[in-house]
Amino acid sequence: MNDLCKYLEWDSRFFGLNIARCQPTTLNSEQMPLILGWCGQNQIDCLYFLSECDDSQTVKLVEKHGFHLVDIRLTLEKRFNSPPPDPQDTEIRLCQTADIPFLRNIASHSFTESRFYYDGRFLKEHCDELYATWIEKSCSGYADSVWVIEVQGQPAGFISCHCYPDDGRGQIGLFGIDGTARGQGLGTRLIQQALHWFHQQGLQHVEVVTQGRSIAAQRAYQQAGFRTSAVQLWYHRWFSK
């Protein structure tokens, strides 16, 4: 069963539930009883499944067996045809330890369109803390860099960057703007800073994953030259009541 389902230690510990992920992105009717049986034997509360969006057989199968659609996962990509300009933005800098409380607060309110909130069965307090923890870990070495933009001397947004030099790829992780500072172009400036930094690392292209319902994020990336490269569907299957 290891090739079908994987128990998620971190998620389970964080949410206080037994959580697993279905490994393939396409399924057939022979696999489903094995998956559901494994979940029963291991007392799984919630099973994540990321499906290819164009496989109608898989979509019909999982919906028939109680999986609920919770998100549309968009992957966007930008390739460097020429060096991006250096923003030389004096209000953007690398994060510092003193920024973490500000960034935690921004993160805890910035991702309410994600699948964890939309599901409705994860406690909101846990969802808030998930993203606050994520940005704190990013500032503490999980990300290769975290850029912060200031407004009136106080952090008002962030973007985290991950490098994968073996395949010449960079990836944007978390990207958030404080609710009081939105609509001022801060996000565009952060994305431009991230692109410049990725190019400086010798990477050829950058990817980012966002939610299908996050129109503002999609527009920000599209304006920066990103194009959609993949669309997938997130499903959750709950077993606990």
Residue 179 scores a pLDDT above 60: yes
Number of other residues whose CB lies within 10 A of the CB of residue 48: 19
Domain chopping of the chain, boundaries: 5-66, 78-230
Residue count of the chain, please give it.
241
- Classify domain 78-230 at the CATH topology level: Aminopeptidase (3.40.630)
What pLDDT score was predicted for residue 208? 98
Q: What is the pLDDT of residues 128-174, one digit of tens each?
A: 999 999 999 999 999 999 999 999 999 999 999 999 999 999 999 99
Q: Nearest CA to 60 among 26, 37, 19, 20?
A: 26
Confidence class for position 241, pLDDT limits 50, 70, 90: low
Residue 2 has pLDDT above 70, yes or no: no
Say if CB 88 and CB 96 are below 8 A apart: no
Q: Kindly state the average pLDDT of the residues 116-126.
A: 97
Residues 44-76 have pLDDT tens digits of 999 999 999 999 999 999 999 999 999 999 999
Contacts of 40 (CB under 8 A, 6+ apart): 239
**Pairing relation of β-strands 227-238 and 205-211?**
unpaired
Reply yes or no on whether the pLDDT at 82 is more than 70.
Answer: yes
pTM beyond 0.85: the answer is yes
User: pLDDT at position 240, please?
Assistant: 74
* Contact present, 196 and 85 (Cβ < 8 Å): yes
